[in-house]
Structure formats: structure tokens, C-alpha cells
Chains A and B, each alone.
Chain A
Amino acid sequence: MNKLTGLILVLLLSFGCKEDDPTEVEDTFDKGAMLTNVANNVIIPSYSEWETNAKVLLEAAEVFNDKPNETNLTSLRAAFIEAHKSWNGCSIFEFGPAADQNTRLTINTFPTDTGQIESNISSNDYDLKSAQNADAKGFAAIDYVLFIDDQLLLSNPARAQYVIENAQQIFDRASEISSAWAAYKDEFASNTSSSAGSSISNLINELNYEFELVKNARVGIPLGKKTLGVTQVEKLEGFYSDESTQLAQSNIQGIKEAFTGGSGLGLDDYLDDLDAQKDGQKLSAALITLFDEIEEDLSNFNLKTSIENNPSELDPVYNKIERLVVLLKTDMPSQLGVQITYQDNDGD
């Protein structure tokens, strides 16, 4: 047995050595530090910004309700766009406190059910939490009410009230999640394992999920990708305010920050530590380049105008989005060695 062990060791050393010393410990990447950074410098600030902006939105809605005039409408609309963009920056973090509340579905289901909204407003008797209003609430509902018809909005207090109800719900959610994260932070940062349901696994799963929402819900579906090329511009997020492009950009920016950990440690650094490559270059660089290019390319367009007039001009950027989805769903999780589903694997 000893001879055998010796032989194996010799073999291993000859295979494993290359030039460098195989037993040398590399600077150990601290996953806990990465998660702490992502929590402290990305997640918590994003939520707190969203909470602040949601509060501004609610207050602006109340001001408008008191004095429905053009000036107050303008500031209410501006507050709405800010709140919506800041939500899009943190909607990727649908785990822990946000998942408990099923937040994505509750506050940002789009396209919205305009018929249901109108019937709610005219009956003035509705419960936003009820199942029949699942598609008639949140940012998309406010987007519709605020931008569909100025005169109606200025003249009918029930419409302003609908905005208030929705803004209240969004603000409540924002403050609940914000305060829950203060308690959840340590749990998040200390769960450094690679199993399903660990913090890194959650982060990767939601990164994929959210970016697929960019590909499908935010760009692909309006572009007609699911409908034989027949465009469905009204399915755009932010269709009534015509802020679709900015909303998509904020969303992509948020996803990228979740990946990079802002200026601190993030999944990109973790991939670098693992020496993850994509066709001869750093995988992290390939990912970041695509994130940046997509965001940059989008700024050359107005999604609504392009889809209405010349949808094919969006093909190059859509193509880049598709390429990024592939990297996010195959190369990245594979290199990280993280379990993204709960099912048992084959054992040995």
C-alpha cells in the first residue's frame, strides 16, 4: 500500500506541478467578505435608495391629491420615474426578505390590466391585495394612471387616490424589506456554502432570473419575439410614461452591480480568483463587457419608438442580450461550482 501511495504521489506531482509549486496557497478569496460587501455596498444602499424614493413618490402623490395642478403633476411624475428606476435597480435581490414577500410580482407586474384599473377607479371599492388585482397594481398601474390622460387625472380625485394606494403599498414594501435586511445581513454574509439556497447560489439564480426578464419581458416580448415577430409595444415596462429604455438600463445596471459588488469584492473577483476563462480571456471581463455594451447600445434607442417604427434596429442589442444570458446561465455557475437547484445529484 505504501509503495502504491508513493507511486501515486509521484504521478500526481508530475501532472499537477507545471512550473509553480502546487502546494502554494493562493491569496485566499474571502467569500464572506464578498457577500458582506455586496450586502453593505450594493443591496442595502439600493434598498434604502428605493425606500427614500418610494417615500418621495408617496408624498408627491399626497401633495397632488391635495392640490391637483400641473406643477404638482410634473413633480409627481418625476418622483414616480425615480422610484421606479430605483426599484429596477434592486429587483434582482429576490431572496431572503424580498422573496418572503414575493416582491417582484406584487409591485412590478407588467403589462398592467388597464380594464381592471378603470373598473377599480370607477367603483372606488377595491382591495389591491386581492387576487383579481394582481395585474392592476404596482408601478405599472401608476404608470398607466399617471400618463394615460392628464385631464382625467386632474379632475378625478379617485385617480389620484389610486396612485396613493399603490404608492403606499410600494413604500410599505420598501421599508419592510429595508428593515428586514438589517437583520438578514449577517445570515446572508455568513452563508458561504455552495449548496442550493446558499447566498451565492441565490445571488446567481436571481441574477439569471432577472436578466432573463430583461431578455424576455423588458425587450423580447414587446419586440414580438414570442409572437411570430408581431410587435407588442404596449407590453413594454413603462409604456405609458415612455421610460422603458431608462427602466431597462437601471435594471441592467442593478444586475451588473449585483455581479461586480460595485467597486468592492463581487462575483467578478471571485471568478478571477478561480481563474475562470472564456475563450482565452477572463470570464468576468467578458461578462462586464457585455453588460456595458448592452447598456450603452440601449442608450442609442428609445425602445418604444424603435419597436413602433423599426424593430429590426434592436436586433444587434437583443443578440448581445442573448449572448450574455448564455454566459450567465452556463459558464458562470459552472465555474463557480455552485448548486443552483435543490435536487440530489449522483453520488460516488
Chain B
Amino acid sequence: MTGIKPFLHRLIDRKVSISPLVTFRVLFGLLMFASVVRFWTNGWIEKQYIEPSLHFKYFGFHWIPEPSTPGIYLLFILVGLSALGIALGLVYRLSTILFFLSFTYIELIDATYYLNHYYFVSLVGFLLIFMPAHRLHSLDVRFGLTKSTTKVPAGYISLIKFQLTIVYLFAGIAKLNADWLLHAMPLALWLPAQDHLPIIGPFMKLEITPYLMSWAGAIYDLTIPFLLIISRTRTLAYLMVIAFHLMTWWFFQIGMFPFIMIGATLIFFSPAFHERVQSWLLSDKSIVSAPHAHPVSIRSWALFPAACFILFQVAFPFRYLSYDGNPFWHEQGYRYGWRVMLIEKAGYAQFKVVNGRGQKIEVDNKDFLTPVQEKMMSTQPDFMIQYAKILKNHYKSIGVDVAAVNADVHVTLNGRSSKPYIKPEVDLAAQVDSWQPKTWILPFES
């Protein structure tokens, strides 16, 4: 017992320098702003939110209304401005709330674009609402909207470190499977496609390279949070963070995520490091030496929701264990689990709308879905149910007496030959999406 209390004190109550939190706030805000600019200039607002005639929903969030065209642009403007607000520490509380709500809302519009790193951003956005990250080096302090402080309870910083640790650890745990470790899949499919790269290109086609990278990746994910926590290994670990994320960014089409992680993991560095960087950047020693006359403390009631959050983060990714079979195949309990870069999966789904007399309409997916939506739908069972219901309604509305909606679906996973994915006779439109096992998914053949 004697060990626990000081440990919790060190982790939660102990007053520590606010500076790591300030760095985190500024980098997170700037990276989110850059993400919005990138997304916009790539034309993705239009491609992902305006061009599609329908959107796939998240379980439990079917009620999310689809914004109008000006509405979606306004949402992105809101994300961008609130991200800047976070970076500058301007009307911080409002900025964090608006950022969390607008970003999460955009994500919830269409599950097609689900990425673990968007989920991560939503979680961090949520946590920042409750953090005093604007109490130093912020416009709020300069304008007198809040009192500056140099010390905050360690709990805030610990919580962010915890969240980052969760991301890495679960990504590492997910790699502990035969495809990844014994067959180097899917890297054995992805790396040879990079053989055109300068210098490293020739190594990409060596048989051993995907094995080395698979194992290195698994070991990296499982150890890096601890190597970042331990001060003796921190600098080396951070160099590994930079090298690892830059490499994945160079190889794969993964957007801003590597930079978010490179920025976020700086929070593991010591207060002294952050203070030095901040005072050098601001060349203003006076702010650094601001009095901590207005200390922040964690109210005891806040510990309960924080504990719930932590418990949820630890437990929720494991829900896939309640389903039989290979989660990479059936994808039940797959989302929000930090399973990243683990599968090369492609499918083709021929939907058939059947009328009362058994006559069929074969659906051309291009008539309803964008290429990305079709690609995602063809491997994800919950999308197939949603799509079947949409098709049923559509064909009913044009006068077809729809009796059932079937689909022939073929899926290839990690280089295996494509195989039938669901029972072709099942009426998908009659299925209800739930957390119950979807018995109409055919078993995985390894």
C-alpha cells in the first residue's frame, strides 16, 4: 500500500510544469489547422462529403444529420478556426469544445472514411476541453481572459501520455498474429511496390525485408511508450519515433498521422526541455518566469470520469474477443481498436435486388457509391446491411416489389485468393446491425 499512494500522487496531483502541455496544445492546434487546409486543397471536402449521394453511418450514429453543401464548408471552417484558437490559446475553452464537436461531427457523417487517427484526434480534442493548456503562452492570458500559471497537476499530462501509450500498445498487440509475424503480411505485398524508391528501393524486394520491418514495427509499437517514459532512453526513443513515422509517411498514403505522432510524443520530454524551447522561441524570459500564483488543481469529482475514460480505453479495443473467427476477416469489433496497417483487403460485391417472383436486378455500385465507398463497402459487413436497405428503399420507391436484397461478395485478405465472403442467399436488407455476431459472414479460410 505504501507504494500506491505516492505513485498516484506523482501521476495525478503533483504540481508539475505546464510547459509540456503548452507545447502539445500549440502543435496539436497547428497540425489540425494544417490538416484542414490540406483536406480542403486536395478537394476532399467535395469528393468525400458533397459528391456522394449517400453516406455510410456508424453504429449508434445513424441519426447524425447530413449537412448541406454550405454547411459542410462551414464545419471545416469551424474546425480550422477552432484549431487555430487552440494553438493560440484564444478563447481556449470555447475553441476546444467547437473543435471537438465540429471535427467529430464531420467524422460521424460518413463511416467510409474511418481512420484510427481521426478517432485519436477526436479523443484528444475531447480531453483538451478539460485541460488548462491555455494557462501559459496564450492569447487568453495576454488578454487577461485567464490567469497564467506555470504549474499544473501531473494528471493532465499523464492522461495524454496514457492515450498515446494506448495507441502504440494496441497497435503492437494487434500485430501479434500469424499473418504479421510469420508471413510478414501485408508488408510482403506493400513493400515490393516501393521498389522504385531511391536508395532503399532495391531492398524492398528482398524476401527478408518485410519480415524485418514487421518485427521491427511490432517491437517498436510495444516498447516505444516505455522507452519514451524512461528518461535514459528518451532521446534515442524519440529519434526512433521520428525515423519510424517518417518512413511510414514516405512509403504509404497515410496523410498527417505521422506528423501528429511526432508532435504529440514530445509531451514525454521533461519540463526543462519544453521550457527551454519555449523561452528560446518566444525570446521572452518574463513569461516563463510568470508567477504560479493561480495554481490549477484537479477536483476530486473529476477523478471518476477520468477513471471511466481510462477504463474504456483499456477495455473497449478488446471487444473483438467476444466474436469467433478472425477479426481481420469479419471486422466485428474492429473499429476504435488501433488496428492500423494490418490488412491488405479488397472485395467485390455484386448486389441483387430480388422481387416477389424471384426476378433479379443486378446493381451497378457506381450508380450509388463513389469508388472509395464501394471499396470500403465491399469488405465491411455493416456497410453491406446499410447499403442493402438503401437499395431496397430505392427500388421500392420506383415501383419494384422488393422481396430480398442478396449479394455475391468476394474478398481477398492479405494475399490469399479471393473467397466468398457472405452467404449469397441471406436477405441483407432484413438484417439488423447490432453487436450480435453476424452469422451470415462465411468463416475465414486460412
**Proximity bits, B326-351, A CB within 8 Å = 1, else 0:** 00000000000001110011111010
The proximity string for B residues 389-428 relative to A, scoring 1 for CB distances below 8 Å and 0 otherwise, is 0000000000010000000101110010110000000000
Q: Are B207 and A22 in contact (CB under 8 A)?
A: yes
- A residues less than 8 Å from B252 (CB atoms): 345, 347
Chain A residues with CB under 8 Å of B93's CB are none
A161 interface residue (CB < 8 Å to B) = no
Mark out the residues of chain A between 31 and 50 whose CB falls within 8 Å of any chain B CB in the assembled complex.
31-32
Pick the interface stretch among B26-34, B66-74, B208-216, B266-274. Answer: B208-216
List the A side residues contacting B44 at CB < 8 Å.
Answer: 342-343
CB within 8 Å for A347 and B254 given contacts A23-B206, A331-B418: yes
Q: Is A149 an interface residue (CB 8 A)?
A: no
Specify which chain A residues have a CB less than 8 angstroms from the CB of B193 in the assembled complex. Answer: 194, 336-338
Which residues of A sit under 8 angstroms from B344, Cβ to Cβ? 334, 337
Which residues of A from 1 to 60 have beta carbons under 8 Å from B? 4, 8, 11-13, 15-16, 20, 22-26, 28-29, 31-32
Q: Are B340 and A346 in contact (CB under 8 A)?
A: yes
Q: Please determine whether B412 and A346 come into contact, CB atoms closer than 8 angstroms.
A: no
Chain A count of residues within 8 A CB distance of the other chain: 58
Q: Is the CB of A333 within 8 A of B346?
A: yes
Complex: A277 Cα to B415 Cα, angstroms: 8
Annotate B362-390 by CB proximity to A: 1 below 8 A, 0 otherwise.
Answer: 11101000011001000000000000000
Q: Of A179-187, A261-269, A321-329, which binds chain B?
A: A321-329
Q: Would A330 and B248 count as touching, CB distance under 8 A?
A: no
Question: Do B113 and A343 touch (CB < 8 A)?
Answer: yes
Give the residue name and chain of the A residue nearest to B216 (CB).
Answer: A8
A26 interface neighbour in B42, B205, B221, Cβ under 8 Å: B205
Q: For the complex, is A102 an interface residue (Cβ under 8 Å from B)?
A: no
When distances are taken between beta carbons in the complex, the residues of chain A under 8 Å from B261 are: 347
Partner among B47, B341, B364 whose Cβ is within 8 Å of the Cβ of A346: B341
Chain B residue nearest to A333 in the complex (CB): B346
Q: Within 8 Å CB of A29, what residues of B?
A: 195, 205
Q: Are A346 and B257 in contact (CB under 8 A)?
A: yes
Report the minimal beta-carbon distance from A223 to chain B, rounded to whole angstroms.
Answer: 10
Q: Say whether A326 contacts B410, CB under 8 Å.
A: yes
In the assembly, what is the distance between CA of A256 and CA of B216, in Å?
40
Instruction: List the one stretch of B1-9, B287-295, B353-361 in contact with chain A.
Output: B353-361
Which of A11, A226, A347 lies in contact with B364, CB distance below 8 A?
A226
Kindly report which residue of chain A lies nearest to residue B47, judged by CB atoms: A342
Give Cα A25–Cα B415 distance, bound, in whole angstroms: 21
Q: How far is the CA of A297 from the CA of B371 in the complex (A)?
A: 30
Cβ of B221 and Cβ of A348 under 8 Å apart? yes
Report which of A8, A339, A341 forms a contact with B215, defined as CB distance below 8 A: A8
Q: Does A278 have its Cβ within 8 Å of any Cβ on chain B?
A: yes
B350 contacts A322, CB within 8 Å? yes
Interface string of A214-232 (1 = CB under 8 A from B): 0010001000011111000
Q: Is B182 an interface residue (CB 8 A)?
A: yes
Q: Are B195 and A348 in contact (CB under 8 A)?
A: no
Contact B417 A216 (CB under 8 A): no
For residue B360, which residues in chain A have a CB less than 8 angstroms away from its CB?
225, 228-229
A78 to B205, CA, bound (A): 50
What is the CB-to-nearest-CB distance from A220 to chain B, in angstroms, rounded to a whole number?
6
Q: Which residues of A contact B186 (CB under 8 A)?
A: 337
Question: Does B440 lie at the interface of the complex (its beta carbon under 8 Å from any beta carbon of A)?
Answer: no
- CB-based contact A348/B340 at 8 Å: yes
User: B161 near A: Cβ within 8 Å?
Assistant: no
Residue of B202, B341, B355, B359 touching A348 (CB-CB under 8 A): B341
- Which of A29, A195, A212, A342 has the most chain B CB atoms inside 10 A of its CB? A342
Segment 191-212 of A: residues with Cβ below 8 Å from B: 192-196, 205, 212
Q: Produce 1/0 per residue, A68-82, CB < 8 A to B.
A: 000000000000000
Is A158 engaged at the interface, CB distance under 8 Å to the other chain?
Answer: no
A192 / chain B contacts, CB cutoff of 8 Å: 196
CB B342 to nearest CB in A, in angstroms, measures 9
Closest to B211 in A: A16
Whether B219 is near chain A, meaning CB under 8 Å from some CB there, is yes
5 chain-A/chain-B pairs, Cβ below 8 angstroms? A8-B219, A196-B253, A326-B348, A337-B190, A348-B340
Q: With contacts A228-B361, A337-B186, A347-B261 known, what are 13 further pairs, Cβ within 8 A?
A: A16-B184, A16-B207, A22-B211, A23-B206, A26-B205, A205-B371, A229-B359, A331-B346, A334-B346, A335-B189, A337-B192, A346-B340, A348-B341
Q: Which residues of A contact B (CB under 8 A)?
A: 4, 8, 11-13, 15-16, 20, 22-26, 28-29, 31-32, 192-196, 205, 212, 216, 220, 225-229, 274, 277-279, 322, 325-327, 329-331, 333-348
